[in-house]
Amino acid sequence: MSETLASDRPQTPMQAIMDPASRADPYPLYEQLREKPVWHEPDGSYVISRYEDVARLIRDPRLSVEPQNSPRGGQGLSFLNMDPPAHDRLRRMTMRHFGPPNDPGRVEAMTPALEAMVTSLIDAVRGQDRIDVVANVSYPFPVTVIADLLGVPREDEPRFHAWAEGIVQSQDRDPREPGRRTESAEKAFQELAGYMFDLISQRKGAPRDDMLSRLVNDDGPDGVMEPGEMISVSVLLLLAGHETTVNLISNGMLTMLRQPHLLQLLKDNPAIAPGFVEEMLRYEPPVHFTFRGALCDLDVGGETIPKGSALQLILASGSRDPRRFERADTFIADRPNNQHLGFGSGIHACFGAPLARLEGQIALKEMARRLVNPRLLQDPPPYRFNPTLRGPRALPVAIDGVLP
């Protein structure tokens, strides 16, 4: 049994979500979805959109992230697509070089370098009266950060950007059509993996001050990472560092330009940036939904979801659920108790969250402070097709100058 939404064009929930017409403003659609706890898709999968259900299910060990349990199939992205115990071991081995308890100061210590990057990106648009926030800041900033962190040469950016786009675009197809990655995405994946393999081989025994060197030369409590694991972890980090924070910064700037009092607020009070970015992750999140497979029968909203079913958890809808968040459709910079779903939750909660938060705070603070009288030139801006990693393809903005 499948269901369609009431509208002039009958569509199933996932058809409506995938539809490019929904991209600029999917929130009314999510509101419609939240009228019921569970929706049925024609392929037998289920769509879940209320906060309470999404937050509970995403932490439930009876749900799997393994590709064979996902309608997308494919080979998955390292520990993002592994269940325990394999997930926990690989995440722990990777985290040893990214945060507590082994390397607690790693992300915070990056602050001056991140500030310098944003400063030079904004310096570069001096003299222009028109900028593209995506091309000038939101894209190059996190990409350079993740490349530097891993030890991937910056000058290879055009190559790994093309591979990353190829892989991510393959996720853009209709999730009701199960199957493998498309041929071109498979090729992009293989090429990126080969590129990473070469880098990792160079660092083995000849370490530099970067994360690839630390990962490949580590012999910690969990032992040494296999070459295949190293490749998949580094591809995951490069892609995750590439395709998400860009949307946080672009969506953040778009929100501030649409509501100029927010721009002014951040400009006058840069110290509020942490709470401001948290609210942005709730209000305009970079990742809209994720998939899980039921390892046994599950009870959701009084209904039994049978073992083996695929579930699509609409994180972005949960974060706008008025049952959980007061005035859910309003951006409240100092919103209390803001446990949004922007970074997911549970054992797969975003690994890069501390870095993404810092990047978002620095980029938004600096743009609010330095860009003089920024005005949106196109509203809505053109969006990337991707409904999961949702964000503008370009964000043209007029400015009257750039402060030092």
Binding site for ligand HEM (CB under 6 A): 79-80, 91, 146, 236-237, 240-241, 244-245, 248, 285-287, 290, 315, 342-344, 348, 350-352, 355-356
Select 77 or 131, whichever has its Cβ closest to ligand HEM: 77
SS3 311: strand
Q: How many CB atoms lie within 10 A of CB 396?
A: 18
Q: Which residue has the tokens 């959701």?
A: 300
Minimum CB–partner distance for residue 403 and ligand HEM (Å): 26
Select 15 or 245, whichever has its Cβ closest to ligand HEM: 245
SS3 329: coil
CA pair distance 382, 215, nearest whole angstrom: 39
Nearest CA-CA partner of 66 in 49, 54, 83, 47 = 83
Residue 202, token pair as written in the block: 């160079």
- CA atoms within 13 Å, Cβ hemisphere of 293: 15
The residue at minimum Cβ distance from ligand HEM is 352
Q: How far is CA 270 from CA 28, 32, 133, 274, in A?
A: 32, 36, 20, 9
CB 297 within 8 A of CB 60: no
Minimum CB–partner distance for residue 237 and ligand HEM (Å): 5
Select 92 or 187, whichever has its Cβ closest to ligand HEM: 92
Radius of gyration of the chain (CA): 21
CB 321 within 8 A of CB 285: no
Select 132 or 359, whichever has its Cβ closest to ligand HEM: 359
Select 170 or 361, whichever has its Cβ closest to ligand HEM: 361
Q: What are phi and psi of 223, to 5 degrees?
A: 85, -160
Minimum CB–partner distance for residue 287 and ligand HEM (Å): 4
Select 29 or 150, whichever has its Cβ closest to ligand HEM: 150
Select 298 or 402, whichever has its Cβ closest to ligand HEM: 298
Single-letter amino acid, residue 401: G
Select 285 or 396, whichever has its Cβ closest to ligand HEM: 285
Sheet with 130-132, strands from edge to edge, namely 130-132, 396-398, 375-376
The β-bridge relationship of strands 38-40 and 46-48 is antiparallel
DSSP for 191-206, written as a single string: HHHHHHHHHHHHHTTS
SS3 141: helix
Minimum CB–partner distance for residue 391 and ligand HEM (Å): 10
Select 290 or 386, whichever has its Cβ closest to ligand HEM: 290
Select 41 or 359, whichever has its Cβ closest to ligand HEM: 359
Q: Which neighbouring-strand residues pair with 300?
A: 303
CA pair distance 310, 93, nearest whole angstrom: 29
Q: What are phi and psi of 342, to 5 degrees?
A: -55, -35
Nearest CA-CA partner of 29 in 37, 21, 327 = 21
